[in-house]
Each structure stands twice: as structure tokens, then as C-alpha cells.
Structure 1
């Protein structure tokens, strides 16, 4: 297989990684890192330098953005740690719970619904000292904060993933398509 074909395959996988960064619970940054590793192995690590190191740093940062967004979203909405724990547990239960029932799309739906339901339940349990209506209101507010923060976090993560892909293309394009002298 020639280097140009490998390059386009790597870019296609990276495109899937950027899409994966947008969708909650999918490992977009990891997919891009695997694509870069594949490219590095295919080219015997030629051209691995400062731009690639910068890409790794950006992708590692983007992996933590979603979790930080959930944390700050819950805090801004007045949610407790129980709300955050509930969201994480709900994501996991939703992912694995809907995987057998709906193999295509089920895990994605499970992650989204699970985070909201888990955050609501966690906050509802934490606020046991409140009246029933105030308790439901606070739990709803906290779970809405989780949803909004998750969306913002995914947008930031996707932007960082796109920046990483752009840096990769910028630093490797001339290796695959050397400039021709006219």
C-alpha cells in the first residue's frame, strides 16, 4: 500500500475521531491518537517532532474537557457531588444497559439519558432535607446543568480534536505531497 493511500485512511479515521469527540461517551481523542500511532508506524516515525508532541498534549487535554465540563456544570447549577456521581454512574449504566437491547444507537442514547437520569437521582437523594417539590426542582436544575455542560464540553472537545487534526495535516502534508518545482 502506498503512503498516499495510508495518509487518506489515517485522515478518514481522524475524521471519525472528530465526530466521536462531538458525541458524548465516544473516545474521539483516542481514535485520533490511534490514527497518529498508525501513521507513525507506517512511516517508521519519520516526521515525529514538535508538532506531534503538541498534538498529543492537545488530545490529552481534550480527553479531560468533558469530565471538567460535567463538574463545572453541576457546580454552576447548584448540584452536589452526588449529582456528578449520579451522572457518571448513569452514563455507564446507560451505555451497558442499552447495548444489548439496541446495539446500534443504544449505547449513545443510554449515555445521554443515563447521565441526565443519574444526575437527577443523585441530586434528589442528596436533597432529602427539602420538601418534595423543592427537591424535584433542585434535582431537575442540577440535571439540566449537567446536560448543558456536557454539550459545551463536547463542543470544546470537538474543536480541540479538529485543531489536532489540522496540525497533523499541516505538519505531514509536505511529506506525502512534496512541493513540485515548476
Structure 2
């Protein structure tokens, strides 16, 4: 069981990275690892960590939806800018932006960043016909998303810390 414990801790650290990098699962990976540990120990260890991970997962989903929206709203973005950002994000994620011939493991990450920004500018420009307002909306969206990612990173680290604190004594005594 000691091997399983450290493997799951490693998976959780990948989840911490994934809380910031969009192409890697984040908090959901941490929650899955916490569930596997609780299941492997017949729910005698890690239940608190599992509950925290599920709550943080739900919070993370809410943060994902709200952070970019609030940032764009604060910058005065319309629904067009927000829709453009979503379309740009999808196009960037799958590499459909002809101006971004970036491949490799960072391709989707860079595509998401530039895709949502380009999409927000295009969508907002279609609505307002004001280029300056379009760039302002895109900046608001990006700042909001960045703040959201930072919040998710803090939550991911806190969730792993709760897991380590609540299961540390049990890691060697199980199995």
C-alpha cells in the first residue's frame, strides 16, 4: 500500500500542475486519487481528504465559469466578446488558429490563451465596432481567467495538503 500511496501523491502533484495548465486535468485528478486511496483502505483513511477534494472540485468548476465572466464583465465586455472568447478557446485548443502554428505539448496551452484573447477581441469588435473596447474586453477576460487559475492552484495545493495531513499516519500501516 505504501507504493500506492506515493503513486497517488505523485498523481496529485500532477493535478496541482493541471490546476494551472489547461491541457492537464487538475482538481478532478486530485479528487480521483483521493477516492482511490479511500476505496483502497475501505474508507478507513482519507475520507476527510476525499470530502474536501469533492467540495474543492465543485468550487473549481464554479471558479472556471465565473472568473473569466467576471473579469470580462468588469472590463465592459458584451455577450459577443464572451462568446468570441469561448469560440477562440475551442479553436485554439484544437490548433485551428492559422496564425498559431505552435505544436508540441505547449501548443494547446498557448492556443487556449491566444485563442480566447483573439476570440474576445473579434466578438467584441463585431458588436461594438470599437477596437479599443475590444482589446479592453479581451484583457478583462484574460485577467479574470488568470485570477481564476490562481485560485484553483491555491485550492489544489490546499487539497493535497489536507490529503497528506489526514493520511500521513496511515500510509505505512495499511496493507
Same structural fold, with TM-score higher than 0.5 when normalized by the shorter chain: yes
Q: Is 2:69 aligned against 1:74?
A: no
Distance 2:25 2:81 in 1: 23
TM-score by length of 2: 0.88
Q: Is 2:149 aligned against 1:154?
A: yes
Distance 2:82 2:141 in 1: 8
Further displaced range: 99-108 or 113-122: 99-108
How far residue 55 of structure 1 moved from its aligned partner, in angstroms, is 2.3
The answer on whether the counterparts of 2:46 and 2:167 sit within 8 Å (CA) in structure 1 is: no
Higher Cα Rg, which structure: 1
| 1:25–1:72 distance in 2 versus 1, CA, 3 Å | farther
Structure 1 partner of 2:107:
106
Distance 1:50 1:103 in 2: 38
Aligned residues: 170
Further displaced range: 94-103 or 60-69: 94-103
Query: Which of the numbers 26, 29, 33 marks the counterpart of 2:27?
Result: 29
Indicate the RMSD between aligned Cα atoms, in angstroms.
2.0
Further displaced range: 20-29 or 82-91: 20-29
What stretches of structure 2 of length at least 5 have no aligned partner? none
Q: Report Cα offsets for 1:9-42 as digits up to 9, x if no partner.
A: 1111101101110124543111112222332333
Further displaced range: 36-45 or 116-125: 36-45
Query: Which of the numbers 155, 169, 174 marks the counterpart of 2:169?
Result: 174
The answer on whether the counterparts of 2:80 and 2:124 sit within 8 Å (CA) in structure 1 is: yes
How far residue 148 of structure 1 moved from its aligned partner, in angstroms, is 1.0
Q: Is 2:41 aligned against 1:43?
A: yes
Distance 2:23 2:118 in 1: 15
DSSP-derived class of the 1:126 partner: helix
Further displaced range: 38-47 or 95-104: 95-104
What stretches of structure 1 of length at least 5 have no aligned partner? 129-134
Structure 2 partner of 1:57:
55
Distance 2:163 2:95 in 1: 37
How far residue 67 of structure 1 moved from its aligned partner, in angstroms, is 2.0
Structure 1 partner of 2:8:
10
TM-score by length of 1: 0.85
Structure 2 partner of 1:131:
none
The answer on whether the counterparts of 1:7 and 1:39 sit within 8 Å (CA) in structure 2 is: yes
